[in-house]
Each structure stands twice: as C-alpha cells, then as structure tokens.
Amino acid sequence: MAKERVLIVDDVADIRNFVKAALSPEGFDVIEAANGTEALKIFREHEPAVIILDLSIGRPDGFEVCREIRKSSTVPIIMLTSHVQEMDEAMCLAAGADDYITKPVSARILALRTTTQIRHRALQSMHTGNLITAGMFALDIDGRKLLVSGQPVDLTRTEYDFIQLLMSNAKRVFTRDEIAEAIGVSLEYSSDHLLDTHASRIRMKIREISDVKVLHAVRGVGYRLLSN
C-alpha cells in the first residue's frame, strides 16, 4: 500500500525535522518546504494527502498559502501557530484551514491529528450523491454545495461537513463530540473554541445572502439546525 504523503511547510529546519521524525514511523511519506513559494510548487507537483502549514514563513505567509491552495483543492490543511488568541483561530479557519495546532506539540498528538484528517477525508470520498433539504436549505451531496433560498454559499470543506451533519437530521441536537467527529477533529486534542468558531463562520457566510437563522447552540450539549 502506498504511503500517504504529508507536506510540512516551515522555515525552521528543526520543526520540519521534528514533523518528519513524528510522522515517518507512523507510515507517512513526509516531504518538506521551507517557504510559501516552494510549498505551492511542491503542492502542485506531489498532491499531498495532508498539509501541515506554519503561519510565520515570510511572504507569502501561511494564510496566503492556505487561501491559494483553497482555490483549487480541498486537501486537509493543519495550521501550526505559536499564538493562542481566538482571533488567530478564526483567521486560520477563515483562510480555509481544517484544523490548527499550537506549538509546541507532542509527536503523539501531531500524528493523531494528521491521521484523523486522512481518515475523515477517506470517509467523505465514499459519500455519493443525493440532495438533502431542510426548510430554506438545500445540500447537494455530489457537488458538496449548500444553497440557501436558492443561492450558493461558499463553504470550506470543514464548514460543509458541519452543516451536512446537522442537515442529516434537522430536528436533532448533535453533541459537540459528534460534530467534532463529523468534521474530522478530536476535541480531546483541539481548542474548546474550534467548533464555535466554525459555527460562527457558517452563520456569517449565510448572513451575507440571507437573514435566515441557521445554527442554534444548545448550552452544554452541542448544535442543531434551525431550518424554518
């Protein structure tokens, strides 16, 4: 079986070596880029299964590289950051990242987060087409597109998976753990704010085209869809 290829993008050689040492024993083929320009070139040539992308890599920085990749690919992107503010979390997700890791990180957690993204992408590729509707929302499973009142909403892969879960049973309250599993993260190793930031991004994008309310947070439990 071919090894899954992981691209690590960091301008610090010690970090790249750490990622390679953490992931290679787990069966990953780790390739490296030291800056954003090199990262985009390697991404186009080698089509990695996951990208681990540091924010502070000069110009173009991690945000710019992530946005450029998102123009053509839904490859899972895990951001590496030394920051801990909620604004940084929101900016990572707004750029199109699926997950982020605050440095320093252990080899075990890095391997688990990478494996989770690969497993989640494999499961999503098995879904084939139908249309899910709930009130003013319509979800095209084949095209992975959300329509609100007939208008398309531009969602990231993770945001799409979030809303797909809620639309699969519009009357049900899904727990935070269920949502985390659906979008390919582990709450055990992720920020408590991760799901809330994704939910906020979805609300903001839908609000740009419609005043319909979409997600309701159930305190202490999780989220449900507001479809009416």
CA 113 distance to own-chain centroid: 11
Share of the chain above pLDDT 70, in %: 89
- Per-residue confidence (pLDDT) for residue 227, from 0 to 100: 57
Q: Can you point out the beta strands (E) in the chain?
A: 5-9, 29-33, 50-54, 77-81, 99-102, 131-134, 137-140, 145-148, 151-153, 174-175, 215-218, 222-225
Residue 39 has pLDDT above 90, yes or no: yes
CATH numbers and ranges of domains, the chain: 5-124 (3.40.50.2300), 131-225 (1.10.10.10)
How many other β-carbons are positioned within 10 Å of the β-carbon of residue 150?
9
pLDDT digits 0-9 by tens, 106-126? 999 999 889 888 887 766 655
- Per-residue confidence (pLDDT) for residue 57, from 0 to 100: 93
- Per-residue confidence (pLDDT) for residue 16, from 0 to 100: 96
pTM above 0.95, yes or no: no
pLDDT digits 0-9 by tens, 129-182? 577 888 788 888 777 888 887 888 888 888 888 998 888 888 889 999 888 888
Give the bridge partners for 9, in sequence order.
Answer: 33, 53
Q: How far apart are the C-alpha atoms of 205 and 161, rounded to whole Å?
A: 15
Task: Give the mean pLDDT of the chain.
Answer: 85
- Per-residue confidence (pLDDT) for residue 87, from 0 to 100: 60
